[in-house]
Amino acid sequence: MADDSHPAHLSPSELGTKDYWETFYARTLSHLSTKHTTTTTTTTTKPTSNPNPNTSDEDEESEDDIDDDSDPGTSWFSEHNAPDKVLQFLTDEEFPLAPVNTLPPPSSSSDSNKKEEGSDQPSILDLGTGNGSMLALLRKRGGYKGAMVGIDYSIRSVELARELQRLRIHSAYLSDSDEEEGKGEGEGGDTNIRFEEWDILHGDVHDTASSSSGGKVDWFPYDKGGFDIVLDKGTFDAVSLSDEVIPDGQDGHASGKTIQRRVCERYPGIVRGLVRKGGFVVVTSCNWTEEELVAWFTRTGSSGGDGVEDKLVVWGRVEYPRFRFGGREGQGVCTVCFQRV
pLDDT digits (tens, 9 = 90+) for 92-143: 999 999 999 999 987 765 655 655 666 789 999 999 999 999 999 999 999 9
pLDDT of residue 309: 72
Is 59 inside any structural domain? Answer: no
Residues 6+ apart with CB under 8 A from 120: 146
Is 241 inside any structural domain? Answer: yes
Tell me which residues of the chain have a pLDDT lower than 50.
1-3, 45, 47-49, 51, 53, 55, 58-71, 73, 178-190, 251-252
* Domain harbouring 305, CATH code: 3.40.50.150
| Full residue range of the structural domain in which residue 336 is found | 3-39+78-340
pTM for this one? 0.81
Is 58 inside any structural domain? Answer: no
Is 12 inside any structural domain? Answer: yes
pLDDT of residue 214: 55
Is 232 inside any structural domain? Answer: yes
pLDDT of residue 209: 57
User: Could you tell me which residues are beta bridge partners of residue 40?
Assistant: none
Is 67 inside any structural domain? Answer: no
Is 296 inside any structural domain? Answer: yes
**What are residue 261's phi and psi, to 5 degrees?**
-125, 150
Is 216 inside any structural domain? Answer: yes
Provide the number of structural domains found in the chain. Answer: 1
pLDDT of residue 111: 57
Residue 206 near residue 306 (C-beta atoms within 8 A) = yes
pLDDT of residue 36: 67
The CA distance from 140 to 174, in Å, is: 7
